[in-house]
Structure 1
């Protein structure tokens, strides 16, 4: 009885001292890489003692007493995969034309039309301290902040670029800050700078004058819920809400890939927060393979969106032949079992990537260049060979080449041959491993971990009621004010007035004065002549 009383006192003390926040986290994109980021964010917040409601296309598989999940249906996943994998063909395109804007609108629509989400946001009893919304080429879901009347934070899965930075500060210069899908990394040549500028102008026009119309239609779905909660926000408020974020948490780090560009105070790089401090143990079979690998292990994966099994058959055969000629053990993330394996090549449908990369016998990572994979390679100090496929993967790989820990190989019909050359170069040149270890040391040389920093800034936003002190004054100025177009206009008007009115009047005045002076002189001359003539006559 006494023991039970002690437990009760402890429980009541915990409840009285509990200072956890209620946080709504929204990750609508139905791909594994985005799901990994969402899961990492949720796990960190739960570990910090907060109560989390998680709206996601790929919810967590396990449960937690402080976690409520809303699965927004994974039917849209197949659509995205189909859009991308259709580009894989025997000719092997070197760049997939993935449309993120279309994907974003579909994912946002799925969130807003979900019945559980509707019940959540229409219930006035559902109160949150802060929202964390994944930014993916649309700001429609910022309207949830207006509905729930609380501050919100963007979480970006990409390196900083103009589309995300303009939401909290200003549009960056394309001369040294590449677009998210740039095929090259800075420094740019003259032609590349022109290409970057043209792309930024074209996409800016599309996003603000065409795409925004579709966003407005989706945003209007939130208006009834604002009314139910007694909030009168006009439809046009999307233009206000999209620029009202308290913070941007970004999956990047200057020590990893992003160049050291100027960033506003409320842009917080927390790249690598998804990596667990204690990496999970490998399955017994993989543990045995890696432990017994005399010459080291090469891990090969091209991600979760594009599948190795969908590569052309002749390419797969050539890759298998190339791998079989190596002394090293190869672990290949491969989604089907139809391929014949060899003694040193091990096929797995699923591989715990962090666990493999953290193993001391892992000596090389052949990757598609996704930001999560590159981050993990840097975290564990593993050199890479990058085979970029689409989106930001090109510049991710290019930056690894510039930093000296990576080698780039193009996806082509000659990939097996090119890959063999690249493997020999990376493994036989110690500088790649040295640079990888150097980048890892730089990344880990920090005051606190990326995960701790993420939790701190989320809590900071709540404690400071939206962190208004961190916001850039740039978002309060209009486009014409930032470029001094009003001053230029004023100066132009002054010059026009001078040119059209003042100068002609002045010219007329001067001309008239000249005429008067000329006439005066002529009159004086006539008088003088008369005097001279009269004097001469008198003589």
Structure 2
């Protein structure tokens, strides 16, 4: 700051001294004419004063700008307990963008190098999370997909309980919590059933920002105070979308009821126990934190086909990870793609499911189907294939975005993960979805209804169904046209999703948590949240009105019956 002020003062002095020299020269040159000399002196003095004022204003502006930079440079804590690569694919560009804005970020995450070290970021690496994700992958091999609702929920609940525990029990995290000098201006967490970690915001008295990798559902609505109608807002694992039938609405309501019961009976009690143990706070404190999210960034966008009503503090940022530069294809893979006369099919089932999970029969069906197609296949698979083919390019890892951006790609066979869906839609690539669990079925259904994908069920697929689906998608131009239409919508934005996310993050910082954007649920019961009080009043009023109508009608009928009987009993006189 002192250096900046010295530079400004030096600049001002130069600007002042130069005009004074000009004034002196003018006086000596025109000394014989007093009036002209007087005019030049006054004119130069005025010009000097103007330049001096400009210099002072410029210096003040510079000082003010430096002060502003200091004011808005925040210290941010990001807690990422779910250690899948997908989480960090979404998180990395977001963190880098915040650092480029002058903020300092501390990340609590797995010990593996998912997020590389760079200036402005401090890591607290929880090594126990590395073993947890490996155990998770091994457990997936023993499961049968698609999973039953309660089986899946119990499996996920245990996983997130363990991840929350490992984070809070880590020595580095405990050291941070016990450091009385540690201060943070914002805490960023995932909104996926790790409620105990919300306590970081309470501990550091900082605004809480949520990052939802799998988009939004009924529980996100509750955290944000977003009063969406439940039957029109399907949970991510149900696979239903807007505009479904009455029967599917009932099924969706049952799913949501199961989720709510599961949250109240399994998720929250476990997370609450961790919260009380590590933060020494009451259940009421956690309840209040859950209802006071300053901002929630959801990884979805209405351009993909599902518009939803959002409160101001829920921001759609699908495609935020697309700001990362695309990795170039190596020479061998580039040549394989370029020389594909009939195009290329890309096959990838994400990072969580490995090749060990696939039964031999399923692999044989896929290979038999690929053998009947003219297209080349780029296959992400970490196991050797029983049959070698010159048409198949096999790798355990692939630069997926670079592949999907290649003009020779005709089809993407995917598990339906949200990041894969976004990347394929952005690159105008039709999809054949084979969903396994959680949000994958819902994502796949959405793409199917948008006209750029088909869905195959692992439990019923055959060689014929695989081949027919692939041919239908590639040969029917409607799939490609629909994909191009959605890609155009995704790209037609006033600012990039990453810029949007950073802008709203800094908005919350500037406005001290931005409480004016929230719809507080603190004083609203579950009955009020679902408008049951209003509905009860309407039912009561309607019931009273119907009762009055019934009573009046009954009396009228009785009166008419009595009158008719009276006429029958009266003798007729002639």
Whether TM exceeds 0.5 here: the answer is: yes
Sort the Cα spacing of 1:432 and 1:481 in 2 relative to 1 into closer, same or farther, 3 A: closer
Given candidates 295, 299, 305, the residue that maps to 1:247 is 295
Q: What CA deviation, in whole Å up to 9, does each residue of 1:447-469 have, x standing for no partner? A: 00001111111111111100111
**What is the CA-CA distance between 1:314 and the residue it aligns to?**
2.2
Sort the Cα spacing of 1:354 and 1:487 in 2 relative to 1 into closer, same or farther, 3 A: closer
8 Å CA contact 1:270–1:450 kept in 2: the answer is yes
**What is the CA-CA distance between 1:422 and the residue it aligns to?**
0.8
Sort the Cα spacing of 1:412 and 1:477 in 2 relative to 1 into closer, same or farther, 3 A: closer
8 Å CA contact 2:157–2:266 kept in 1: the answer is no
8 Å CA contact 2:226–2:310 kept in 1: the answer is no
Distance between the aligned counterparts of 2:479 and 2:535, measured in 1?
53
Where does residue 337 of structure 2 map in the other structure?
290
Answer yes or no: is 1:176 the counterpart of 2:265.
no
The aligned runs of 1:13-412 (5 Å cut-off) are 17-18=69-70, 19-57=72-110, 59-73=113-127, 74-88=130-144, 93=146, 97-99=151-153, 100-170=156-226, 172-223=228-279, 234-257=282-305, 259-412=306-459
Q: Moved runs in structure 1, 4+ residues, more than 6 A?
A: 12-16, 489-492
TM-score of the aligned structures, taking structure 1 as reference length: 0.82
Sort the Cα spacing of 1:289 and 1:122 in 2 relative to 1 into closer, same or farther, 3 A: same
Sort the Cα spacing of 1:413 and 1:452 in 2 relative to 1 into closer, same or farther, 3 A: same
8 Å CA contact 2:318–2:422 kept in 1: the answer is yes
Sort the Cα spacing of 1:187 and 1:29 in 2 relative to 1 into closer, same or farther, 3 A: same
**What is the CA-CA distance between 1:67 and the residue it aligns to?**
1.1
Where does residue 513 of structure 2 map in the other structure?
466
**What is the CA-CA distance between 1:159 and the residue it aligns to?**
2.5
**What is the CA-CA distance between 1:394 and the residue it aligns to?**
1.0
Distance between the aligned counterparts of 1:80 and 1:305, measured in 2?
8
Distance between the aligned counterparts of 1:490 and 1:466, measured in 2?
37
Sort the Cα spacing of 1:434 and 1:176 in 2 relative to 1 into closer, same or farther, 3 A: same
Residue-pair matches, total: 476
Sort the Cα spacing of 1:296 and 1:486 in 2 relative to 1 into closer, same or farther, 3 A: closer
**What is the CA-CA distance between 1:59 and the residue it aligns to?**
4.3
Sort the Cα spacing of 1:187 and 1:475 in 2 relative to 1 into closer, same or farther, 3 A: farther
Distance between the aligned counterparts of 2:369 and 2:267, measured in 1?
46
**What is the CA-CA distance between 1:490 and the residue it aligns to?**
13
8 Å CA contact 2:428–2:480 kept in 1: the answer is yes
Distance between the aligned counterparts of 1:222 and 1:472, measured in 2?
29
8 Å CA contact 1:163–1:171 kept in 2: the answer is no
**What is the CA-CA distance between 1:147 and the residue it aligns to?**
0.6
8 Å CA contact 1:168–1:243 kept in 2: the answer is yes
8 Å CA contact 2:237–2:441 kept in 1: the answer is yes
Sort the Cα spacing of 1:128 and 1:415 in 2 relative to 1 into closer, same or farther, 3 A: farther
Distance between the aligned counterparts of 1:239 and 1:474, measured in 2?
10
TM-score of the aligned structures, taking structure 2 as reference length: 0.77
Where does residue 523 of structure 1 map in the other structure?
none
